[in-house]
Structure 1
């Protein structure tokens, strides 16, 4: 087999399709959690902490300077503000904790179903069809 046929076989395996689906769903779930954190969770927390908007919490290391424009021509370019945006970091930590908790809950449920499946699989199996037929044969021999 050539490289491309091996690659095609790899892509067509069920695991890679499942992984791709999980990545897509995970990305969408991440956006939902980010929106929940930014738009639902953080505003009340900010209100409780004295009307703080976490998005705006930062330490400014260098103030930004707007561009200087004269007669429509830019004389001096703008200088961007340099800051440490710790408020955005706090929101990202909240996102991480929420996603981690959700994944933890899903894995706990998965483990619980796996344990049930293993318990059913470990249960002693009844006699096979052949064993039953041999028992019937032996009983019929004893009756003669």
Structure 2
């Protein structure tokens, strides 16, 4: 059982997932600090000193903390924006993978056909480079 557990943990995808979760948690803490310490005070200053954390609605004796929801939404939007920028940047730097072609154009009728075809299924012309043998 210990051996199976060791094999499971040593798989690359489990380790990658663990690292991703830890880094995501650290990234969330950084973004939350930026939002709470820099952006929310700026937004509060622009909105005549409104502190969103102080916004509370009384609903039949229950206190609904609307300000905390607003802060969470702003934090989510900023994290989403940062992740979008990071993914977009990584995708630009990534080399485009060359896809292997699976079709070709018949030189006789110009129809798209399978790359391994020996005869065109549209015009039935024999294609060059293949012997008469049937596989």
TM-score range, shorter chain: 0.5 to 0.7
The aligned residue for residue 66 of structure 2 is 86
The aligned residue for residue 11 of structure 1 is 9
User: Following TM superposition, by how much is the alpha carbon of 1:60 offset from its aligned partner in structure 2, in angstroms?
Assistant: 2.1
Larger helix percent: 1
- CA RMSD, Structure 1 to Structure 2 (Å): 2.1
Q: How many residues of Structure 1 are paired with residues of Structure 2 in the alignment? A: 100
Higher RCO (CA 8 Å, separation ≥ 6 residues): 1
| C-alpha distance in 2 between matches for 1:38 and 1:30 | 12
Taking structure 1 as the reference length, the TM-score comes to 0.61
**Residues 68-87 of structure 1 deviation map (CA, whole Å, 9 limit, x = unaligned):** xxxxxxxxxxxxxx311111
Computing the radius of gyration from Cα coordinates, the structure with the larger value is 1
1:100 matches 2:100: no
| C-alpha distance in 1 between matches for 2:65 and 2:33 | 18
**Residues 85-118 of structure 1 deviation map (CA, whole Å, 9 limit, x = unaligned):** 111111111111111111111211222233x251
| C-alpha distance in 2 between matches for 1:22 and 1:11 | 15
The aligned residue for residue 118 of structure 1 is 97
User: Following TM superposition, by how much is the alpha carbon of 1:5 offset from its aligned partner in structure 2, in angstroms?
Assistant: 2.8
Taking structure 2 as the reference length, the TM-score comes to 0.65
- In structure 2, the gaps of 5 or more residues are 101-135
Deviation beyond 4 Å, 4+ runs, structure 1:
none
Moved more, 53-62 or 93-102: 53-62
The aligned residue for residue 60 of structure 1 is 58
